[in-house]
Structure 1
Amino acid sequence: MKILAAMSGGVDSAVAAARAVEAGHEVVGVHLALSRMPGTLRTGSRGCCTIEDAMDARRVANLLDIPFYVWDFSERFKADVVDDFIAEYAAGRTPNPCMRCNEKIKFAALLDKAIALGFDAVATGHYATLIDGENGRELHRASAWAKDQSYVLGVLTETQLNHCYFPLGDTPSKAMIREEAADRGIQIAQKPDSHDICFIPDGDTRGWLSDHVSREPGEILDESGEVIGKHDGAHGYTVGQRRGLQLGRPADDGKPRYVLSIRPVSNQVVVGSKERLAIERITGGRYSFAGEPGFDLSERFACEVQIRAHADPVPAFARLEPIREEDRTEQHRVEATHELVVDVNLQLAEPLLGVAPGQTAVIYVGSRVLGQFTIDRALAEAPVAA
């Protein structure tokens, strides 16, 4: 096959490219320039797609003796990832920019360009497994649970999966990848993994948002509607947050209070007990499926749901349901690109804590990624009014 290897400058994508070459494929390396500040330097394990990462990727390509290019996707990245991140926080939601980047950049813009140039597939260093099932290609968890990255790939569609290549999916540990990289003479074998949000390399999300979202002081309420504190900007809070609330008085029972909901229209933050964070039902939109499910999604089915990259999956039941006309919002109308407008509903077998609108829920059936959706509502037995 003719393979385009997406080389981030990290050890995982370096070994993935090396394995593709070793497997006999015709491989070309490409590094995506996503930062609008091309002189940005890496700080330890924070950030990615920096000038140092581009140079590391080029050195690996030279070692592998493959062509190498840098493609500037910074404008697309700003529009589809950074601006979306700002808009979601301004709307009182908690987005996952890595999911948007995979959806819009790495497996949409990049893959589209690769196919247009005659490549058969894009190879990345993600830890996930592709299986050709009875109904087509399926995405599954990697063999190593600790390094499984199938969650962040949950946004991929069947068409995209048909052009993906994940050489690391059956590798039991990251330590083995580092050892293999060293054996291959790859100098970045011990390079730290990147973490946090790449365009906020110092990790101060609240500070970064303060420069991009209008800060308006507002009220912090308890569940009865009583004002118990003030805030300097609702965007600086997330559901489940405990620290930094600066409340005027303690709770009657003396227990800590947590953010239960954010009301962007009234610019209010609602707090309450930890028990009130327990969610038994979540619904959402912007859904997609990673291949043909093979069964009727309108019928209730058993599954597991995962709401964060490093969270444990929770047993659940799910089904697709049409959205009632009275429940439709402008957001649903904008996002309704299918003939049937639906919500994805999950009845959880055990409560989840700290679920926030805007998060991505990925649905699993066994080890298989069935699909994903963006959470619109998180409901307890007695929901907090939003």
Structure 2
Amino acid sequence: MTADATPPRRLRVLAAMSGGVDSAVAAARAAEAGHDVTGVHLALSANPQSFRTGARGCCTIEDSRDARRAADVIGIPFYVWDLAERFREDVVEDFVAEYEAGRTPNPCLRCNEKIKFAALLDKALALGFDAVCTGHYARVAVDSEGNRELHRASDMAKDQSYVLGVLDERQLAHALFPLGDTVTTKDEIRAEAERRGLAVAKKPDSHDICFIADGDTQGFLASRLGRAEGDIVDESGTRLGSHEGAYGFTIGQRKGLRIGTPAPDGKPRYVLDISPVNNTVTVGPLEALDVTALTAIKPRWCGTAPATAGEYTAQLRAHGEETPVRVEPAGDELSVTFTEAVRGVAPGQAVVLYDGTRVVGSATIASTTRATATV
């Protein structure tokens, strides 16, 4: 297998430039590799702020200007494309609907699937580009039969393959990740940006949901879904307190429950279940969160779909650890059984499957099986 993050032939590359250091360095490396690179900043907000606050949010006017300045230094053409309406429909509205249904979505996966490697890629191909380049830390490799595969980044500490697990074979065929083979620290990437004269070298990374710039997810959801008071109950159904909207909770949450009555054993309680039907949140002990299996839907394969059951490892969160699983495909569903019980698994999250460093595919968690029945 050979690395193929920057193929030897000269490509027409559209570099998605967020205004951050990673995408700027990725664009610079693609240009340095001899590709014909054009930079593009995606305007994803209908009403962008003029400035970001530290590491909160992105897609501000400031970000677009930072991206333009980086493109000027690299010496590549630069454009701003307005995808705000598509982003609102496919990412923001999906995010709100998922929380309203009692699920916990990952908007970064949805953005990669629907925006960067669907809307953006389709437009790029229509304009004659060969590939889209981003600053993600992941690798594209070619197997002995010429098939392109998605792999973890060389530096596991920065690996972002989890949020790219939604990419299919066609999308991978037109994806470039110039940072994926880099075994360096983020400080070294910043040092490279500084050597290249890129002013974003010291710009803080964005760590929050990009369309919730103040970081107040619950407030964002309340402004769109309204406040709806409901009960917080224990496993037996005993009312312990109230809430202002079940959408403000996630499975495994401990803080912010505002329960006045302590548990009989004095131990903390955690959110075990969220029921949008009766607007009820169920809480209980930590061990009640143990999950032994799950059912996932809408699988997306980074290559050929496995036809039979197999042994893989699974990652359940963007920065989570791998855990051994057995996977049985059944049409548009997957049955995933864990070798050891795991915690903090919520419907709506993505389960991403790996075979070594290779990303096999991903699916959306629909339901879980607990080690001990709780509700």
Amino acid at match of 2:342: L
Q: What SS is found at the alignment partner of 1:168?
A: coil
What does residue 223 of structure 1 align with? 235
In the other structure, the counterpart of 1:145 is 156
Contact residue 39 and residue 77 of structure 2 kept, 8 A: yes
1:297 pairs with one of 293, 307, 329: 307
Q: After the TM superposition, which of the residue ranges 219-228 and 257-266 deviates more from structure 2?
A: 219-228
- Alpha-carbon deviation of 1:100? 0.6
Matches within 5 A, 1:180-219: 180-219=192-231
Q: 2:341·2:371 contact (CA, 8 Å) conserved in 1?
A: no
Give the aligned partner of residue 183 of structure 2: 172
What is the Cα deviation at residue 39 of structure 1?
3.8
**Whole-Å separation in 2 of the counterparts to 1:249 and 1:206:** 24
Write the distance in 2 (CA, Å) between the matches of 1:314 and 1:43: 36
Separation (CA, whole Å) in 1 of partners of 2:357 and 2:239: 46
Corresponding residue of 2:341 = 351
Match of 1:373 in 2: 363
Query: Once the 2 structures are TM-superposed, how far is the Cα of residue 372 of structure 1 from its aligned partner?
Result: 0.4
228, 249, 252: which one aligns with 1:237: 249
Identity %: 58
Residue 292 of structure 1, CA deviation? 2.0
Is the Cα–Cα contact under 8 Å of residues 290 and 372 in structure 2 kept in the other structure? no
Separation of aligned partners in 2, 1:342 and 1:33: 34
Structure 1: state its 5+ residue gaps: 322-340
The CA distance in 1 between the partners of 2:258 and 2:189, in whole Å, is 45
Q: What is the identity, as a one-letter code, of the residue corresponding to 1:158? A: E
Give the AA of the match of 1:111: L
After superposition, what is the alpha-carbon deviation per residue over 1:30-77, rounded to whole angstroms, capped at 9, x for unaligned? 000001113442111111111111001100111111110000000000
1:313 to 2:322 alignment: yes
- Matching residue of 1:157: 168
Give the alignment's TM-score, normalised by structure 2: 0.95
* Letter of the 1:352 counterpart: V
Q: What secondary structure does 1:202 align onto?
A: coil
> Is 1:115 the equivalent of 2:125?
yes
Matches within 5 A, 1:1-386: 1-134=11-144, 136-173=147-184, 174-293=186-305, 296-299=306-309, 301-321=310-330, 341-385=331-375
| Cα distance between partner residues in 2 of 1:69 and 1:287 | 34
Tell me how far apart the structure 1 counterparts of residues 368 and 202 of structure 2 sit (CA, whole Å). Answer: 41
How far off is 1:154 after superposition? 0.5
Deviations 1:334-354 (A, max 9, x none): xxxxxxx43111111122111
Report SS of the residue matched to 1:189: helix
Q: 2: CA distance between counterparts of 1:39 and 1:358? A: 29
Where does residue 329 of structure 1 map in the other structure?
none
How many matched pairs?
Answer: 363
- C-alpha contact (below 8 Å) 2:270/2:284 kept by paired residues: yes
Distance 1:223 1:39, change over 3 A: closer
Q: How does the TM-score come out when normalised to structure 1?
A: 0.92
